[in-house]
Structure 1
């Protein structure tokens, strides 16, 4: 492992420039340095494991999030306000995986940035935008669900309003990410001689340590701690209402003691309550996954700029960095898996998408599918239960 914390020790012997990039007293000329650096960035055996894990994460994440968007697009009954936010979350996850995962893997393995300043600014800008959109979308879902369940008469959730909120989320996220465009610079590692090699460059903010530490703290507070606190408070109240079974606005409509309520209406009300509980469990799981996966990378960033990492062994930092950098991508690829296991509607649409991709039905088994919908309406929500009927010849 190279140590880039020392000073550049260059000397001249017999009119030949020498570079002591390893701080071992050994003189290396320009050709030796180029050869050494080109060899250094070649992946080690354990880094091939990291590459394999990233590739699998990339494939699963792209496939899963495209399926989420396809499911909502295909099934008009799934175009609810909550699902609009879920699609927005999937779009942000696609951005994280498509735009941010490849450069992150490249930098982790080669320990250098050789894609230039423009790509440096663009990638980190889009990374901050996508992460901001993710956390703000989760917060928007929590607030929307809180109003729909805890204050149904105080706020009417509509798709038009959801579109406006989504637009504002992207606008705010772009504003938060502007410092990446303004302050990011390319920095050469100290022991690498200038004009000898473009390898072992880093893409870093051109700020002082105190300024960068303050900026990282602000990002953690605004894009992690505060949203997580608001989300937790919202879901605690939502859970209390749903599992208590007394939703505001419904009055005593679910009371089994009312003789006026017939059995059918009671069954519909109970099914709706059970459906809301399942949806709440799924959304809470998504939030918990986000909180767990993003905590290590926030801790790593604040430790780096606070100067804590210099007291930790290099191998330990490297291992922790691999895991911390990979977890956000795991989060982006795991959300569709959560939807599949915890939502019957998403699971059904995912299966239909897979059937469509596998080609037409086998010969002699041609048929067609009807889709019927049973609507249920309450003072605070309109929902649809969908049933698929397949007629075979």
Structure 2
């Protein structure tokens, strides 16, 4: 993935007319609290049940959750930088942030692609052998190895130059952006789309029990929902990056070197040069803010989708969490009252016999 920190910090903190010091921190805190809490509940549900946590799909779901938790750990940097309207954490943290963003985004989408392949093998077992634990472990290892390989160029040969900004020219920037878009976005989504199409076709062609059909449909819906959440969250970012690199008419604060307005963006190099027409435009700021908010919220969607589309997981979560009755004790039962029109009991006689 290319230098997302340009979009996260330079574009929104230099000569802006919209105040990001309130909106972005609030969304970051909300995403951090909701996201971490939701993923911890997913881990609690999956790890409490030995039979459930040993399933290949559960292992991949935990791997997906781990990637989302790693992405959430970068949000304090976003919070601090947005609050101070500048980068205060130094070059090493900036490089680490870019590396972690690439690493977790890759592990996230690759886990979804592996889940789509596994889901098709489960739905159409006649054509495939059962998945062994060693295969699942190998898949998880490959996911993280590819993600690390794609993220390493940030650390190895991109030069950091003041603030939180990458000193790369247009060709180098495209050299990151195009492979990242193809490997992190297009190829995994194409793989998931093909497998989901095969799953739907197989479910329509074969006759299964009502419970099995319902279970397969919900599992497929969970996969499609998580994929759509990822696609929608990252598409504005990629669109802005391509426009920022290729268009000579966009007024941005984070141009690559060699861009017509790059000298103005780094005003220490050319302080007397006139800014591009319109400076940093309101439309660009608004689009940047939307892209940043979607990226910050991206790790939060999977837990609610999982609990909404998995009744066993929701039942297990309710069993694990304390209910109001367990907290306050059993309700007191009011004593039974006599019927309104009950006949009166006969009064004992106090008169002597024969009176």
TM-score normalised by L of structure 2: 0.74
SS in 2 for 1:310: coil
Q: Which residue, out of 88, 108, 112, partners 2:63?
A: 88
Match of 1:328 among 279, 295, 311: 295
Match of 2:175 among 214, 228, 236: 214
Structure 1 or 2, whichever has the larger Rg, is: 2
* Alpha-carbon distance change, 40 to 332 in structure 1, aligned in 2, over 3 angstroms: closer
Change (3 A) 1:319 1:359: farther
Aligned residue number for residue 391 of structure 1: none
CA distance in 2, matches of 1:149, 1:364: 45
Distance in 2 separating the partners of 1:156 and 1:94 = 30
Offset at 1:361? 4.6
1:275 pairs with 2:196:
no
SS of residue matched to 2:86: coil
Residue 57 of structure 1: which of 9, 26, 31 is its match? 31
Residue aligning to 1:250: none
* Cα offset, 1:41, TM superposition: 10
Closer, same or farther in 2 for the Cα pair 1:231/1:145, shift >3 Å? same
Unaligned runs of 5+ in 1: 1-38, 189-200, 247-253, 255-268, 366-393
- The partner residue of 2:286 within 302, 319, 323 is 319
More helix by share: 2
CA contact (8 A) 1:146 1:238 kept: yes
Give distance in 1, aligned partners of 2:88 and 2:27.
23
SS of the equivalent of 2:137 reads helix
User: How far has the Cα of 1:44 moved from its partner?
Assistant: 7.2
Structure 1 residue 202 and structure 2 residue 177: aligned? no
2:111–2:143 contact (8 Å) kept in structure 1: yes
Q: 1:181 aligns with which of 134, 140, 155?
A: 155
Aligned: 1:164 with 2:138: yes
1:320 and 1:292 map into 2 onto residues whose CA distance is 14
Q: Any idea what the Cα deviations from partners look like across 1:109-155, whole Å, max 9, x if unmatched?
A: 54532211211121111111100000100000011112222354423
**Paired residue secondary structure (2:164):** strand
> Map of 1:372-383 to 2, 5 A cutoff?
none
2:236 corresponding residue in structure 1: 296
Find the counterpart in structure 1 of residue 266 from structure 2: none
Counterpart of 2:187 (choices 221, 226, 239) is: 226
Deviation above 6 Å: which 4+ runs of structure 1?
A: 39-44
Asked whether the 8 Å contact 1:41–1:109 carries over to 2, the reply is no
Counterpart-to-counterpart distance in 2, 1:59 and 1:43: 29
Contact kept? 1:213, 1:305, Cα under 8 Å: yes
Which segments of 5 or more consecutive residues in structure 2 lack a partner in the other structure? 1-12, 253-279, 332-355
> Using a 3 Å threshold, how does the CA distance of structure 1 residues 66 and 152 change in structure 2: closer, same or farther?
farther
- Please report how far the alpha carbon of residue 309 of structure 1 lies from its aligned counterpart in structure 2 after TM superposition: 6.2
Superposition TM-score, scaled by structure 1 size: 0.68
- Structure 1 or 2: more strand by fraction: 1
Q: Which residue of 1 aligns with 2:100?
A: 126
> How far did 1:362 drift?
4.1
Checking the alignment, whether the CA contact within 8 Å between 1:139 and 1:230 is kept in structure 2 is: yes
Match of residue 123, structure 2, among 138, 149, 174 = 149
1:45 positional shift: 5.5
- Give 1:317 shift: 1.4
2:310 is equivalent to residue 343 of structure 1: yes
Tell me, yes or no, if structure 1 residue 75 matches structure 2 residue 49. Answer: yes
1:136 to 86, 91, 110: 110
Counterpart in the other structure of 1:378? none
